[in-house]
Structure 1
């Protein structure tokens, strides 16, 4: 079955995606396109942004955008991945994996909360909740490129601690999702709705208290030998 959203975002004459070796891509242009895409998708939503706008904002031709990313859906997914990789790179999960269990989980929780509580992330979250976006490909693309990939990376860390006998988790993928939900807590919801006490953002003390509590609750439920 054809995808009407995909058909609209790839106009006639756009270059087809090629497989195999070809002309090397300009990494500087690719980075500029991703930066423009993140900025415009966040402020205007998926349907409200055209490839022409992204090309103009990045200072490249539309053909260059298509050459790098193929279509708007692929560009959106790449922009989400780039943002997540910048905030929570593989090296962070590797360092957390090597650290003592509680400290490693705190490292991940702090980096995750910092990523989702930034102005760009909050604006993007609000855009995702609008009726126009809900009916577009954007939510699924966002989920697969962002939260799902983070959960998968965290599940690998948790599995290592299960194998080491430190955690007793029957389903590490579900536990990874639970951990990230605990890390979000009430503070993230209050930030989304602009309901933080005493300002637009919670204090660092509030954030740290929530994250420490989240890690504590998680370990209370899943630490090997913990009473249940």
Structure 2
């Protein structure tokens, strides 16, 4: 199986192509998304699209990476490490829970599961861009909080994984199994608050 190029070519219409690809992947899934449709929605020629992304899997990977990076940057921009750990973790939990329930995150999850056997690299790409990247950034904060004496954690890698799982409680399963697709901010805040309560019950100094 031919693997996608490791790094796409950047250029003037790179963001335009990515935006079009995101819309089509969201609407049609990975298998249903045609290069013709992506080029049309992006407003570029197929030749231009292929000049940036010679493989559809690379395009999907880059779209997922970009969205996850934006989510991580949003969370980081809202975090003030000078504030108490509870406040910092509440911001992170609220934003993470909301992202996990978003149309984008749910659709990408479904695509990765549906294409797991034929294109396992799609799942690996999203895992690297999303869960693994988020865990690494959370670990950095946890290490800082431990050094400041706010938290008492021996294994921050495990603790970061646990924190993310606490943010999946109740609502994520409902979204993943198609029971519901819309959630109120109050419901998201409740999951985040309980996640932080449970986490600090175990790890507060």
Same fold (TM over 0.5): yes
Alpha-carbon distance between aligned partners in 1 of 2:30 and 2:79, rounded to the nearest angstrom: 34
CA contact 2:21–2:59 (8 Å) conserved in 1: yes
Shift in CA distance, 76/168, structure 1 to aligned 2, threshold 3 Å: same
**Equivalent-residue separation in structure 1 for 2:112 and 2:8 (angstroms):** 28
Q: Which residue number in structure 1 is paired with residue 96 of structure 2? A: 112
Q: Distance in 2 between matches of 1:76 and 1:184?
A: 24
Does structure 1 retain, via aligned residues, the 8 Å contact 2:146–2:152?
A: yes
Structure 1 residue aligned with 2:79: 96
Shift of the alpha carbon at 1:134? 4.0
State TM-score, norm by structure 2. 0.84
CA offsets 1:82-108 (integer angstroms, 9 cap, x no match): 11222331x632542523211111111
Question: Structure 1 residues 5, 178: CA separation in 2 closer, same or farther (over 3 Å shift)?
Answer: farther
Which consecutive unaligned segments of at least 5 residues does structure 2 have?
Answer: none
- 1:182 paired to 2:163: no
Higher alpha-carbon deviation: 29-38 or 151-160: 29-38
8 Å CA contact 1:77, 1:142 repeated in 2 = yes
Query: Stretches of 4+ moved more than 4 A in 1?
Result: none
Q: 2:124 maps to what in 1?
A: 140
Whole-angstrom distance in 2 between the partners of 1:57 and 1:157:
39
Give CA-to-partner distance per residue, 1:46-90, whole Å, 9 cap, x none: 34434443223211123323333453333222211211222331x
Equivalent-residue separation in structure 2 for 1:190 and 1:201 (angstroms)? 10
For residues 50 and 166 of structure 1, do their structure 2 counterparts lie closer, same or farther at Cα, with a shift above 3 Å needed?
Answer: same
Match of 2:201 among 206, 217, 220: 220
Q: Counterpart in 1 of 2:11? A: 25
Aligned residues: 202
Contact 1:45 1:128 in 2 (8 A): no
Distance in 2 between the 1:108 and 1:33 partners?
30
Q: Which residue does 2:21 correspond to in 1?
A: 37
The corresponding residue for 1:125 is 109
Structure 2 partner of 1:154: 138
For structure 1, the residue ranges without an aligned partner over 5 or more in a row are 11-15, 19-23
Aligned mates of 2:8, 2:128 — CA distance in 1: 21
CA RMSD between the two structures? 2.6
